[in-house]
Every structure is written in C-alpha cells, then in structure tokens.
Chains A and B, each alone.
Chain A
Amino acid sequence: MFAEGLFIAFSALSVLGALGLVLFRHPMNGAMSLIVTMISLAGLYALLSAKLIFVLQLIVYAGAIMSLILFIIMFLNIQDSDLPEEKGRFYYLLGGLVAIIPIASFLIKLVKSIPESGTTIVGNGFGGVKEVGLVLFQDWLLPFEIVSILLLVALIGAVVLAGKRRMIK
C-alpha cells in the first residue's frame, strides 16, 4: 500500500516535470523541471529494487549530465531576446498529439496484455553492485568495452570541437 502511494507520487511528479520541459519557454526552467523528472525516476528505480541504477541515476543523470547542461545554459548567458520565436509551437504540439495519441494508446493496450506481476522488493541482492557487476563482466563484456571506446571517442570529439580557440573571422 505504501509502495503504491510512493509510485503514484513519483509518477505524477515525473509527468509534471516532463510537461514543464515541453511547455516552458526558457531552457533554464525546462532544465529544472527535467531534474525533477530525473529524481522522481530515481525513486521509481528504487521501487523496482534496482539499487545500483538508483544510485547511478542520482549521481550520473541528475548530478553530472544535468549540471553539465545547466552549466552550458548559464555559460551562454541566454537572454529572452536570444530565444527563438516559437509562435506556432502550440499548433505543432496539437499536431504532434494527433500523431502520437494513436501510437501511444496502441502501446498502452499492448503493455496491458503483459501478465500480472507484483512489484514487491526482491531479496537476494537483486540489483546490487556485486550482482550487476557479475552480469556485466561475464555476459556483457564485449558491449562494455565498445561503450568504453564510445566514451573515448566522445571525449576526443568534444575536445576537438570546443577546446581549440579558433580565429574568429
């Protein structure tokens, strides 16, 4: 019962944050509401007894990535006059809704056909660091190495793109 209340609270918060991201005009407000979404999603991960991913969501997503985005938004010092005029965005929103709602309702119908299952907390260290690490380094070793190469490429690319001080023409 308590877990269901927590689920309702977290899911309402995350949907509200996502709505704020779509509707706020200034990117700073959007980033703040996205942080609300990230933190409530971390709570949902904890309810799904994914302990390691809960911590990683808080540290990596809500901590590192979002603070990077906030840092860049503040670094560019965006005024209201710099923002693109988005006059027709509510029409685009309506058109997108018309396109999305059939697909989403189909997916929801599909999801409802999944067999019933409880979401009580699983014991035996499910989702702990040791267990996930065992799966990661036994079954997923090659994808792990490929992801590390991807991170290296992104690092070099970011340094090449933004690090060099170029001559301004």
Chain B
Amino acid sequence: MIQDYLILSVILFSLGILGVFSRRNVFAVFMSIELMLNAANLAFLAFSRLHESMDGHVLAMMVMAVAASEAALALAVVILLHKHKGKLDTNVFSVLKG
C-alpha cells in the first residue's frame, strides 16, 4: 500500500534529522543529509505511483543530481578543513561564520 511507503519515508527522514542533531562528525552529518534526500525521493516515487504519472520520477532524478553536486562540493570542503585543522569536528566549521 502507498501509505506504508510514505510512513517509511517519514521514518527515514526523521532518522536523518536525528543524525544531524546528535552527531558532531562531519561525515555522519553529511551522510544524514544524504539519507534525508533519499527519504524525499521515496516520497516522490510513492506519490508518482499513486497518481500513475511520471513527474515524480523526473524530480527524483533531479534530486540525485543535486545530491551528486552537493557531495562533490561538501567533500572538497571537508578535505580542505582536514588539511588545515586536522579535525573532523563540526565545531571547527564555526570558522565559516564570518
């Protein structure tokens, strides 16, 4: 049933938010964001199946493209941060506050 898929999507999204809340490791925060994007994709595809139209598939592909570009940029920033500070703590990112 469609509702089960959407409930699973809500659960995965909540787990992603919990990961962003509770972790201080940069990689864990980043992968939690990926998890939230995946939950959104699941909701897109479930609604697309419900209405039997394929717009949700196109949106899911675009979310994948956004996730890929986000991964490239975020990992570049993490490499720079690790090179300069030697740490993986999100508190180190407070130098970006300006």
Contact = CB atoms under 8 A, between A and B. Distances in A.
Contact of B49 (A50, A108, A136): A50
B2 A31 contact: no
Nearest to A11: B8
B58 A86 contact: no
Contacts of A31: 27, 31
Interface of B: 1-8, 10-12, 14-19, 21-25, 27-28, 30-32, 34-35, 38, 41-42, 45-46, 48-50, 52, 54-55, 57-58, 60-62, 64-73, 75-80, 82-83, 86-91
A97 B18 contact: yes
- By secondary structure, the A interface counts as helix
19 contacts: A18-B11, A18-B15, A41-B41, A50-B60, A61-B38, A69-B27, A76-B82, A76-B88, A84-B89, A93-B22, A103-B14, A116-B3, A140-B58, A140-B62, A155-B72, A157-B76, A158-B76, A162-B76, A168-B83
A21 B36 CA distance: 12
Contact of B69 (A30, A132, A144, A153): A153
B73 A151 contact: no
Contacts of A82: 86-88
Contacts of A83: 25, 88
